[in-house]
Structure 1
Amino acid sequence: MDGSVCVPNTCHICLKEILERQGHPITEEQAWALCYQLCTLLKDYSIDQLGRLIYYCLDWGLDHDVERDLHEALALLVCRMINVNPRTDASLLPIGLPEVIQVCEDRLDGTAQAAHHYKTVCSLLFSETIELYHYIQSYKTCIKVHAWKYVVEEIQSREPLRPCSRTFPSNAYRPPEKLFPFDQLKQVIESKQYTLRKVQVSERKLRERTKEEPCLHERLMAEIRTTDPLELFASCKRRRAVCSCCSNRSQFFTWHNTCSRCDRVVCPSCCVKMRVPYKWCMDLPITFFRKIVLRQSAERDHSHFWRERLSWDCTKVPLVLEALALGSCSQHSLAMRGWHSQDLCIECQGLLEETCETGAFVNCVTGTREI
């Protein structure tokens, strides 16, 4: 990510600087082009490093609670490159550089057209970044030149300088300097404002302090000092890898699915995708929604979704709850492309379904967490 790419007759620029200059993540077409170009040029890099680099460019600048909806083919290719299944913790079939290049070429008609198209996309991204950089530099230069030109014009006009009318007398009041406590005590002793009296020192001995039992804070600090930091880190990581609903543990790494209502970590099997047409619909009361729960096969979910959609009441806002582990890619998922989505655990899903059926409000759901 930090390595620069050398372009003949131009300059060196790294991919991180391109993202910073553009101010937004790359598009899906640019991701395909980068994937093809990197796999054909960088033969020494591992496929896992290239996959994580493409994923970083697609996710650059987004908040941790924002999930980007990618095309199924691109998302599957990135997951196979980093060897992680987005639905479960199971690993996918490994993929090599030739297979990645073949997948990129299959999107277009032929090898020659794919090489020309992807090279053109990368060249446009580079040229746009260079033009933006030159524009910013020229704008800064114009500001400096304009300010200096204004100063030169004032000097050339020979406008006389006005004398300063403000005078400071020699006996003007000056605030006292701030002295340290030691200096203050020294001034008091030198001024002899107070008479010090003699103190007779007795030869008595101080009593030895009895050894008391350490308090709770001291015992806790002693336990922390004697505990290995690696064991503490491993125990915290194990606790984070446990699902809050089914208590299953992650085999590889911690899950990134977090319920937007109760802020608990859940596994993909216990995670539900909640979708509404617009983001501001999340602030509406629960009585404005009509739920569609998709729990069956892809074919049944497809027919159920369109049956509910055709007989829809225009006064209600559609609220679709779909299991994340199903991974449905049918026409009804394409119809919801671009909808605002949030992760929800199965326990909050049951509470939400019960609330939608009864039409009553829940006391613990307030503010922006109306649904």
Structure 2
Amino acid sequence: MEAPHCEQRITKVSLAEILRCFEQPISEEQAWAICFQCCCKMEQLAQGLSPSLHSVFIKGSGSIFLHADGTASFKVYRKSGKSIDSLRAPQCFVVHCFLGLCLQLLEYLGVVIYEALDWGIDNNLERELSDPLEKLLCLMLKLDEKAMKPADTLQDVIKACEEHLSSPSEASSHYEMTCRSLFTEYMELQKLQTIIQRSKEVHLGSPLSCYSICLHTLTYIIRELQKGVKLRKSSERPRRCAPPQKCVRSPYELLLDDIQHKRYTLRKVSD
């Protein structure tokens, strides 16, 4: 697959493209951010913004988009029933009840986020999630034992995302920054991919393993930085002092040292 030309200004990218680029699942903090931004977008559409909430289509990671400004959006269908990709909307997504529509979209969103958290992991393995995130997904997937009022469900999810932070009032700016950073990291990896593919070594037929290694290395560094690892300047690194080289002395110097330390007794030589 050819890398997109980075000269073209990209303003949004699907979650599916991000997963394929990083070749690993999203982090829990990114899951919280995507969930919050998507729910806020649903809330805006529910207030009558264009496109209508009834035209939103959520099925798979390819139907959720992250924008350069950190906001989120969805794949939508036109009034004719066809999407921008000329695909007919399945009947199961046509919901006439507004409250039922919110619940259904939340459930589809929960499935997408869960799959993004589990992306690339062996089918026989299951990723362990933190209790708060697991409870959030149970709420969205209707697996919570406590029955929630349908009209409050969207607000409950937004509130849960806010209370996940130590400062709930900063949820909007924090999650927006998280999604914006994820978008920026994706663009940087795409630029690196383009540079490597255009490099002289690749065109000369060198193995593409170096390209894969570079991407994996950069991805690993980004993840470590997200975990709080800090980089130090090369000048700040502790320098190892090399042991002084042993001085090699001449035979005359060795003899003089023996005399000075009286290792030998000199006898007077008569004429």
Higher-Rg structure is 1
TM norm structure 2:
0.46
Could you say which structure has the greater relative contact order, defined with CA pairs below 8 angstroms and 6 or more residues apart?
Answer: 2
TM norm structure 1:
0.34
* Higher-helix-fraction structure: 2
